[in-house]
């Protein structure tokens, strides 16, 4: 029997939004919700589900093994695609989902924070506090300020946020409140939590989903963020459209069904809206471009006996379809000009972007955000970038691999957006929307204020009476 999920809320003012995506989480413990706002938190709920690496074009695939996602689309609204951000990678995209602004404004450019120190090659550190990484207010900050209970499971750029009530992180702490509750309920063991990082991604997604289900059942949050990774992993290794990718979609759809069932069992089922999103699409590459090998041959970068990068006056960090170039030596302006000349027309490189072009693409300039590259390289079609410095400038890949990180003007980078529940119209398909619209849409459904957001709510999917403010 075909399933549909036409969630309906008692009133627009009490709308509940469910958004799923894996969260990285909070420090152990519980953040208190203001006592005076408990009534408000009891009438509102949101769950945001992010299925990492789910391309928009997959929604039109008749072979898509996703009955639960199809049912949400039939009972609610969807977009033909959602334009991601630049760079089109996981942490920048997810941070835009919760802020409503591009990376130029929120500041997250990598899957972590780029650290630049004199005399040392730049490095990316993921375990930095949210306040050091995210430069603007988030929707979960606004929800917490309004008195809503907030929760996150494997979300990103959210370490020690101070505004998340319940958290089960990317690497959960066995002493964390939710982890201890899961252990006590028999859903997971102490040893499994302790060795979480070494587990395979399918097991992790199952466990993250179990944590989300537990939080819904036990704590009934006003806003829940859940992020799942299996499809992204399958696409990177086998590319989209592969049997492994279809199997991953079927598995994730089953996890989505578990969350839907938990919401339907909840006292808030009639006050719940579900939003399912993804952070980027995917492309396939048969050749790998190595800009650091070009730097090595030009005498601007040195490697050790094992071929590992040791030092340099310049350095390139790959983000898949694009790459960031950093001038590290003296006479920076002169060095940047030299690097631009080196890479223009080089094999596998289609374009070299200068800071004067950044604003139109949503990038910050290096003078405002030191994490930003002095140049951005764009790969030729069928190519992706590698950080390796050994061997040839361009190498063939034995099996075409999936990648993202291409400029967001490429429609293959488009991601998915599906909404169902109270406050959401039934049977609506809107044209391409923008990642910056997710947070304002959540804010409208929950009656929150998020004045820093650059995007507007996706008004075409909202029923009359839902506030259009952000």
Task: Give a yes or no: residue 302 inside a domain.
Answer: yes
Question: What is the C-alpha separation between 3 and 147, in angstroms, rounded?
Answer: 34
Q: What are phi and psi of 400, to 5 degrees?
A: -50, 125
Taking alpha carbons only, the member of 396, 310, 308, 306 closest to residue 348 is: 396
- The answer to whether residue 72 sits within a structural domain is yes
Q: b/e for 55-90, b at 16 or more Cβ within 10 A?
A: bbbbbeeeeebbebbbbbbbbbbbbbbbbbbbbbbb
Q: Helix crossing, 438-446 with 90-99: angle to 10°?
A: 30
CA–CA separation, 398 and 404 (whole Å): 19
Model confidence band, residue 31 (pLDDT cutoffs 50, 70, 90):
low
- Residue 467 pLDDT: 72
User: Is pLDDT at 27 greater than 90 in this prediction?
Assistant: no
Residue 21 — very low, low, confident or very high, per pLDDT cuts 50/70/90? Answer: very low
Considering the domain architecture, whether residues 56 and 163 belong to the same structural domain is answered as yes
How far apart are alpha carbons 226 and 204 in whole angstroms?
12
| Count of the separate structural domains present in the chain | 2
* 1 within domain boundaries: no
- pTM for this one? 0.91
Q: Is residue 396 part of a domain?
A: yes
Cβ neighbours for 333, distance < 8 A, ≥ 6 positions apart: none
Domain span including residue 88: 12-282+409-461
Closest CA to 446 of 412, 429, 426, 421: 421
Query: Please, which residues have CB within 8 angstroms of residue 126's CB and are 6 or more apart in sequence?
Result: 24, 111, 112, 113
CB atoms near residue 45 (< 10 Å)? 32
Using 50, 70 and 90 to split pLDDT, how confident is the model at 470? low
Question: Taking residues 165-192, what's their average pLDDT?
Answer: 96
The answer to whether residues 32 and 166 belong to one domain is: yes
The predicted model gives 131-147 an average pLDDT of: 97
Asked, for residue 6, whether it belongs to a domain, the answer is: no
Residues facing residue 284 across a β-bridge:
402
Residue 4 lies in a domain: no
Q: What average pLDDT does range 402-413 have in this prediction?
A: 98
Q: Which whole-number Å values give the CA distances from 306 to 164, 182, 296, 396, in the listed order? A: 44, 44, 14, 21
Residue 176: CA count within 13 A, CB half-sphere: 26
Q: What percent of the chain has pLDDT over 90?
A: 83
Tell me, yes or no, whether 300 lies in a domain.
yes
Domain co-membership, 29 together with 162: yes
> Per-residue pLDDT for 177 more than 90?
yes
pLDDT at 119: 83
Over residues 108-118, mean pLDDT? 95
Half-sphere exposure of residue 240, counting CA atoms within 13 Å on the CB side? 21
Asked whether residue 16 carries a pLDDT value surpassing 80, the answer given is: no
Confidence at residue 468, expressed as pLDDT on a 0 to 100 scale = 64
Residue 272 is part of a domain; what is its CATH number? 3.40.720.10
> What are the tens digits of pLDDT across the range 194-220?
999 999 999 999 999 999 999 999 999
Is residue 45 one of the residues assigned to a domain? Answer: yes
- Domain match, 78 and 90 both: yes
Average pLDDT, the chain: 91
Look at residue 311 and tell me whether its pLDDT is greater than 50.
yes
The verdict on 361 and 218 lying in the same domain is: no
CATH number at residue 302: 3.30.1360.110
How do residues 369-403 score in pLDDT, each as one tens digit? 999 999 999 999 999 999 999 999 999 998 888 99
Are residues 145 and 55 part of one domain? yes
**39 vs 24: CA distance, rounded Å:** 28
């Amino acid at each position: 029997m075909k399933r549909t999920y036409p969630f309906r809320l008692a009133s627009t003012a009490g709308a509940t939004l469910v958004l799923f995506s894996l969260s990285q989480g909070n420090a152990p413990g519980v953040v208190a919700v203001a006592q005076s706002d408990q009534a408000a938190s009891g009438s509102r709920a949101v769950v945001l589900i992010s299925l990492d690496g789910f391309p928009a074009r997959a929604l039109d695939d008749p072979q898509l093994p996703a009955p639960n996602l199809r049912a949400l689309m039939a009972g609610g609204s969807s977009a033909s695609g959602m334009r991601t951000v630049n760079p089109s990678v996981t942490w920048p995209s997810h941070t835009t989902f919760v802020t409503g602004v591009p990376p130029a404004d929120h500041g997250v450019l990598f899957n972590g924070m780029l650290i630049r120190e004199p005399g040392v090659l730049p490095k990316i550190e993921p375990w930095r506090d949210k306040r050091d990484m995210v430069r603007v207010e988030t929707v979960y900050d606004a929800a917490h300020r309004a008195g809503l209970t907030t929760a996150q499971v494997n979300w990103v750029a959210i370490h020690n946020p101070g505004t998340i009530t319940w958290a089960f992180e990317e690497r959960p702490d066995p002493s964390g409140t939710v982890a201890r509750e899961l252990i006590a309920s028999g859903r997971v063991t102490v040893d499994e939590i302790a060795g979480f990082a070494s587990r395979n991604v399918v097991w992790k997604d199952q466990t993250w989903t179990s944590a989300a289900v537990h939080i819904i059942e036990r704590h009934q949050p006003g806003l829940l963020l859940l992020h799942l990774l299996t499809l992204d992993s399958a696409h990177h290794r086998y590319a989209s459209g592969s049997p492994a990718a279809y199997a991953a979609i079927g598995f994730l759809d089953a996890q989505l069904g578990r969350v839907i069932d938990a919401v339907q069992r909840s006292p808030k089922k009639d006050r719940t809206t579900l939003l399912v999103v993804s952070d980027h699409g995917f492309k396939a590459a048969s050749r790998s471009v190595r800009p650091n090998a070009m730097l090595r041959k030009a005498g601007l970068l040195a490697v050790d006996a094992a071929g590992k990068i040791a030092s340099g006056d310049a350095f390139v960090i790959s983000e898949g379809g694009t790459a960031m170039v950093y001038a590290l030596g003296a006479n920076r302006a002169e060095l940047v000009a030299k690097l631009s000349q080196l890479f223009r027309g080089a094999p596998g490189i289609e374009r070299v972007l200068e800071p004067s072009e950044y604003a139109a693409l949503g990038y910050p300039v290096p003078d405002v955000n030191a994490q930003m590259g002095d140049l951005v390289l764009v790969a030729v079609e069928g190519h992706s970038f590698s950080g390796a410095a050994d061997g040839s400038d361009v190498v063939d890949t034995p099996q075409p691999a999936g990648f993202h990180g291409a400029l967001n003007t490429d429609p293959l980078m488009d991601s998915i957006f599906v909404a169902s529940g109270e406050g959401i119209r039934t049977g609506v398909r809107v044209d391409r929307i923008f990642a910056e619209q997710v947070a304002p849409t959540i804010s409208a459904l929950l009656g929150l204020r998020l004045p820093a957001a650059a995007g507007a709510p996706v008004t075409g999917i909202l029923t009359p009476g839902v506030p259009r403010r952000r």
